Amino acid sequence: MNAPLKNDLYLRALKREAVERTPVWVMRQAGRYLPEYKRVRAQAGNFMNLCSNPELACEVTLQPIDRFNLDAAILFSDILTIPDAMGLDLTFETGEGPRFGKPIKNRADVDALPIPDPNDSLKYVMDAVSTIRRELDGRVPLIGFSGSPWTLATYMVEAGGSKDFSKVKGLLFSDPATLHVLLEKNAQAVISYLNAQVEAGAQALMVFDTWGGVLSPTNYQEFSLAYMQQIVDGVTRHAEGRDVPVTLFTKNGGQWLDLMAKTGCDGLGVDWTINLADARLRAGDSVALQGNLDPSVLYGSPESIRVEVKKVLDSYGDAPGHVFNLGHGIHQYVNPEHLTVMVEAVRELSAR
């Protein structure tokens, strides 16, 4: 039995309930900008060892909570655990990013893909979730997450990261039927993966659509949003006696917030290329908004960080439904003390 939740600001803000102050967490808050993270990372040997060791994954998940007193923890893991469990042979080479030894090349590869049982080949993730929940001891809620079906497909077809997405877009334009089969499988895998995370103790869910923004509007709807809709419809939205809010985040998706809100999700992640007042106009009133400080603000002076935090809070205004965050993951070379400045500014300036 997990401890009762002491700080539920994040969950309440996502349900657009009034809160005493704006909750704040940071994408990639457990990461390389923290010296204590780098120590554990070195101890683990390589990145996947760190993800697959529940005790170490728990340790790095809690580091930013301890240091910054943030309002939510997010499972430390990678978005590519699902394709790895499908047998695509994931490795991380230093400075090179992720690589798949067995990328998807054709319809036969797609047809052969298994949908992983999250309590079997992804059990290490569920063990991390339950370990983190236990160690959090009710301090703040734990967010579970996955990559979006489209974003997973880009890596699976490109065999890693990409600049111009030539292979996956070549597939999209020359053989869309095969891509749809792949996306359908990814969506099923994501749904069972996220539901297993909720069962293991995740109290909110987030879907990262890192690469939806490289598509045209119609292709975004057909190849990314349609499958996020399946996820919103398919995941557990209530557990342990309260709602499990779902947040969708498409980087460079500011133009499509209206379509994203219509999925019926609870929150939308917003990057910094749209101000939150405009984002609210586009998204309507059915969703909370998460964001949206430019991560590079943290390279500036403490004074300028406070100024920029205030601009974000002011652009959102006093209505309920704001979760403060960066508009993308925190950069590797940021001084952690600058994040302290940001978090304290949010707490102070948003107090009702």
Any idea which residues carry the catalytic annotation?
28, 32, 41, 78, 155
The nearest distance, CB 175 to a copy of itself, in angstroms, is 9
Q: What does the binding site for a copy of itself look like in residue numbers (CB under 8 A)?
A: 164-167, 169-170, 172-174, 213-219, 252, 254-255, 272-275, 278, 294-297, 299-301, 304-305, 308, 311, 331, 333
Quote the least distance from Cβ 9 to a copy of itself, whole Å.
25
Q: Which residue's entry shows tokens 């895998």? A: 189
Within 13 A of 30's CA, how many CA atoms are on the CB side? Answer: 24
Whichever of 69 and 273 has its CB closer to a copy of itself, that residue is: 273
Cα–chain center distance at 325: 12
Residue placing its CB nearer to a copy of itself in the complex, 123 or 167 = 167
Q: How many residues does the chain have?
A: 352
**Number of CB atoms found within 10 A of residue 43's CB:** 12
Give the residue with the Cβ less far from a copy of itself, 229 or 250: 250
**CA angle at residue 211 from 217 to 326, to 5 degrees?**
105
The distance of closest approach from Cβ of residue 105 to a copy of itself in the complex, given in angstroms and rounded to an integer, is 14
Contact of 122 with 82, CB cutoff 8 Å: yes
| Choice between 112 and 307, CB closer to a copy of itself | 307
Find residue 90's DSSP bridge partners. 100
Q: How far is the CB of 33 from a copy of itself (least distance, A)?
A: 12
Distance CA 321, CA 15 (A): 7
DSSP structure class, residue 252: T
What is the arrangement of strands in the sheet containing 246-250, beginning at the earlier edge strand? Answer: 73-74, 142-147, 204-209, 246-250, 267-269, 288-293, 322-326
* Cβ closest to a copy of itself, residue 58 vs residue 172: 172
Compute the least distance from the CB of residue 216 to a copy of itself, in Å. 5
Q: How far apart are CA 164 and CA 127, in angstroms?
A: 36
